[in-house]
Amino acid sequence: MTFKKSALAFVVALALCGGAQAREFTSTITQSAEITQMRPEFKRPDEPNQLFYVQRSPNSNTVIYAARLDAKGMPDRREPVEGFWRKFNIDGSRQPLNFIERMMAYGVKQARTDQNGVTTFTIAALPERRITLNLDAAGKPQALMQAGKHTIKLSYVYLHVVEGGLMPEVPKLDIFGTDIASGKAIHEHLVQK
């Protein structure tokens, strides 16, 4: 077996065994009047039913999470949230996540919808953070997450990626959203211990 094939087999085996494990982070939370952009030169996506997006330090390609709604405007019970790429660094095209990306990094996990249409889920690479999908007062889908003592409407996540080796590392990340109680912008900076 060649090195590439054995490396791929290892990654697939790891993915099938649920390779993403909870990690410990140090957290710093700041409040401000508005959400700041880590990379203002990166395009801000605006997709139908967009919940939030993930940008990464290497380039402007962006993973977008959007709600899938049924005919009644409620989250689809079979697949309430979808994640996909916008390849802004190339041509802006929409592309699906590949198998390894879904299993190890950006895939939606543990999505469950209750009778009231409230869905909870996690993202593969960040299983320790539960996200709630519900509809706001105007009937628009939103993603809520805890950031310290704050419940925030999630806007975007920025990953500081270190490439190299079999899998890229993310030693730190930034979460941005709006506190649903105060309306203030919340920035949580997380550094892996």
Give the model's pLDDT for residue 77.
86
Distant-in-sequence, close-in-space partners of 83: CB < 8 Å, separation ≥ 6: 63, 64, 65, 97, 102, 106, 107, 108, 123
Which token pair is 169?
């590392």
Three-state DSSP class for 159? strand
Question: Cα separation of 154 and 121, whole Å?
Answer: 13
- The structural domain count of the chain equals 1
pLDDT digits (tens, 9 = 90+) for 139-192: 999 999 999 999 999 999 999 999 887 778 999 999 999 999 999 999 999 999
The confidence score (pLDDT) of residue 22 equals 57
Give CA–CA dist 87/61, Å, rounded: 5
Q: How far apart are alpha carbons 112 and 133 in whole angstroms?
A: 10
Which residues of the chain fall short of a pLDDT of 50? 1-20
With beta carbons less than 8 A apart as the criterion, state whether 178 and 188 touch: no
Contact predicate 176/52, CB 8 Å:
no
What pLDDT was estimated at residue 12?
Answer: 37
Q: Give the pLDDT of residue 18.
A: 41
* Interstrand relation of 150-162 and 50-56 (parallel, antiparallel or unpaired): parallel
**What are φ and ψ of residue 103, in 5° steps?**
-80, -35
What is the C-alpha radius of gyration for the chain, rounded to an integer number of angstroms?
Answer: 17
Per-residue pLDDT at 183: 96
- Say if residues 52 and 144 touch (Cβ distance below 8 Å): no
Domain that holds residue 75: 3-192
pTM above 0.85, yes or no: yes
